[in-house]
Chains A and B, each alone.
Chain A
Amino acid sequence: MIILEAKKLTKSFGGLMAVADVSVTVNSGELVGLIGPNGAGKTTLFNMLSGYYKPTTGEVYFRGQDITKLKVFETSDLGIARTFQIVKPFGKMTVLDNVMVGAFAKTGHKKEARDKALEVLDFVGLFNAKDNLAESMTLGGKKRIELARALATEPELLLLDEVVAGLNPSEVKGVIEIIRKICKDKRVTIVMVEHVMQAIMALSDRIIVMNSGRKIAEGTPEEVANNPEVIQAYLGRGMTKSARG
């Protein structure tokens, strides 16, 4: 079953085509990786899928419903959650309170929200940090907060924008395991942008490659890794090493 369908999305900023004519289909239960060099348009695409940007042209359908013109909080109500590449924690609130804001999406009761938040904090390994102020957490901690908050809204589709980037190797392993569990155990459909190839190759059922605003390849991790155009795109930017993991 198709959960998300983006049709010929284009976004231009003045003269710059950040995303050009990109169509994407995501099936329910799938974990799709989205890769491409810096500036390829991945975040801009995410911003259109979640309602932050209105596309210049094209449409977005979520479970068959046209959501192109919806506001961000409306896409959230429908079941789309996202994390931010540049983390946006509620700095002056505790870790627990951050996650409770997410949990309130599904309940009006403080106690239920708290229970839900504690459960999610346990799941992402932040339980012991629950009383810390979010601003006092390390980058790794803040990325987990992003993940926990999004998860607490009980989404059907989760858009992860570089949740692994910037973490140390042991943290990377932990977060990969969490993402795998979210998809396989909690049955949440995931689209993830990631530069860390180890994470993308290990997790993705399917990979979409973007370059200069366009989709240049799509397929299984092996297919994509051997695609000459993909190698060329990364070679051009001197990123061969990381592209091959």
Chain B
Amino acid sequence: MLRRLRYPSYFLPFLFLLILGLLPFIINNEYILQVFIMFLFNAYLASGWNIISGFAGQLSLGHAAFVGIGAYTSTILFVQWGISPWIGMIFGGVIAAIFGWLIGYPVFKLRGPYYALATIAYGEIIRIFIQNTKAVGPIELKGAEGILIPFKGSSPALFQFETKAAYYYVALAMFLLVLLLSYKIKNSKMGYYLSAIGNDQDAAESLGVNTSKMKLTASAISAFVMALGGTFYAQFLLYINPQGVLSGDFSTEIAVIGIIGGEGTVFGPVLGSLILTPLSELTRIYLGGRFAGVHLLAYGLILMAVVTHIPHGVIGTFSKLYHRILLKLGDPVVSAKTGAGKTL
């Protein structure tokens, strides 16, 4: 393994990983570090979305619903009952997964645009419900007002840290785990089956693919991943409200990152986030609250450019470039394999 690090195809990814790992030591500007945290977080969410919408080709425009379920579950458990968000995170994931599975039953009967419309609908229903509900029995949702999370100082066991660097490492760990999960799925029987479903469901069924079960499973896994992201979001911002974590804009943002990067690939969502996160963060800094949502306008323009010029996302172009760099560096592993090189 170590000897292989001589090859560019091994040491380049290793180098990237090293840079990511040391970043908080290199950057001592809190604000820039925050942009990197958002980069990792958006890449994480888009990767979770990608499991059902990219791998299986079922375009969801309501994924904020699952992020919201995660955020609200761990936050309410923490604020009302003092349960650590680390534990609440798992609860939120499981509840979101069950919800993703159940909602799948009616929704997966719909195909193409009808499916996407249904996801918008349930995303909005959940947002409107929470926005207008103060409490359900003992559970205090607090409606549109949102929930403030008390800061207890540096207490890692309660998912609370004093430095941005600590949040950065949590985000980095989640980011690496979701990439590993994506990679494992993509290269397994399930990955092939999801891909087949995304291309042609009838043909997939004829080859023995239980398409309903596959989609429900992918939807549950995807929802689980989103919900964990929701807990991170809540603990990082220490405040959640339906207009934020459950908004349609947020759902759209997640999907656009995935689409621009290149849906259905493992690293597409990472590239999507690399391009779009700085954009949204910069507009937020320089335009502040004056033109809220202006970054979505920029997203829209980029989306138009991408779908008309590179319909498979930035990843295709990037893969070719990366491959060429490896060849230039004289990588023996890549040179041995002829052909255009696989999309990452």
Contact = CB atoms under 8 A, between A and B. Distances in A.
A152 B196 CA distance: 15
B338 to A, nearest CB: 10
B189 A108 contact: yes
A9 interface: no
Contact of B208 (A77, A91, A97, A100): A77
Contact of A131 (B189, B200, B210, B339): B339
B192 A97 contact: yes
A71 interface: yes
A74 to B, nearest CB: 8
Given A90-B196, A93-B199, A97-B192, A50 B339 contact: no
Contacts of B203: 84, 88-90, 149
A101 B196 contact: yes
Interface residues on B, range: 20 to 34
Interface string B169-213: 000000000000000000111001101101110111111111100
Nearest to B213: A73
A113 interface: yes
A52 interface: yes
A63 to B, nearest CB: 17
Contacts of A183: none
Contact of B207 (A52, A81, A91, A131): A81
A76 B199 contact: no
A102 B199 contact: no
Given A101-B192, A110-B187, A113-B189, A90 B206 contact: no
Contacts of B339: 131
Contacts of B188: 108, 110
Contacts of A84: 202-203, 206
Contacts of B192: 97, 100-101, 104, 113
Contacts of A92: 195, 198-199, 264
Interface string B247-267: 000000000000000001000
A190 B137 CA distance: 63
B187 A73 contact: no
A143 interface: no
A101 B209 contact: yes
A150 B202 CA distance: 13
B207 A102 contact: yes
A82 B206 contact: yes
B199 A90 contact: yes
Contacts of A97: 192, 195
B200 A90 contact: yes
A187 B189 CA distance: 27
Contacts of B204: 90, 101
Q: Most chain-A CB neighbours within 10 Å: which of B189, B210, B264?
A: B189
Contacts of A77: 208
18 contacts: A50-B206, A71-B205, A71-B210, A73-B207, A73-B210, A76-B205, A76-B208, A84-B206, A90-B195, A92-B198, A92-B199, A92-B264, A93-B199, A97-B195, A101-B193, A105-B207, A105-B208, A150-B206
What are the 9 A-B residue pairs with the smallest beta carbon separation, nearest first?
A90-B199, A76-B208, A88-B203, A72-B205, A105-B208, A101-B196, A88-B200, A104-B189, A102-B207
Interface of A: 50, 52, 71-73, 76-77, 81-82, 84, 88-93, 97, 100-102, 104-105, 107-108, 110, 113, 131, 149-150, 152-153
